[in-house]
């Protein structure tokens, strides 16, 4: 009986952990979210970040990760529009 109870608690904990993102997978930030964070970054620091991953430290993006680029593309900053975009590699 005790073994069954422990097993039930273990399974319930594992299931609830998975539904809350317990697998360690973070939601991806959108390009508009990254662009807004970039604007705030430049206003606060006066320069672009040396690595776009630094933008995920912003409070609004803290629990997010950079989006996965489509094949043949990479994330970059468009200096003309000051937006985060996907560009050809």
- The DSSP result for 31-61, as a single string, is HHHHHHHHHHHHHHHSS--SSGGGGGGSGGG
| pLDDT, tens digit, 9 for 90 and up, residues 27-39 | 999 999 999 999 9
- pLDDT over 80 (residue 89): yes
| pLDDT score recorded for residue 10 | 40
| pLDDT score recorded for residue 16 | 38
| pLDDT score recorded for residue 62 | 87
What's the alpha-carbon Rg for the chain, to the nearest Å? Answer: 19
| pLDDT, tens digit, 9 for 90 and up, residues 7-52 | 334 434 333 344 444 556 789 999 999 999 999 999 999 999 999 9
Of residues 71 and 58, more confidently modeled: 71
Nearest residue to 74 via CA among 86, 58, 61: 86
């Amino acid at each position: 009986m005790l073994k069954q109870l422990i097993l039930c608690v273990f399974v319930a904990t594992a299931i609830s952990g998975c539904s809350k993102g317990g697998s360690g997978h973070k939601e991806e930030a959108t390009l508009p979210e990254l662009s807004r964070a970039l604007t705030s970054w430049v206003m606060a620091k006066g320069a672009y970040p040396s690595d776009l991953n630094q933008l995920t430290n912003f409070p609004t993006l803290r629990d997010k990760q950079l989006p996965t680029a489509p094949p043949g593309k990479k994330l970059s900053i468009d200096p003309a529009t000051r937006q985060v975009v996907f560009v050809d590699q």
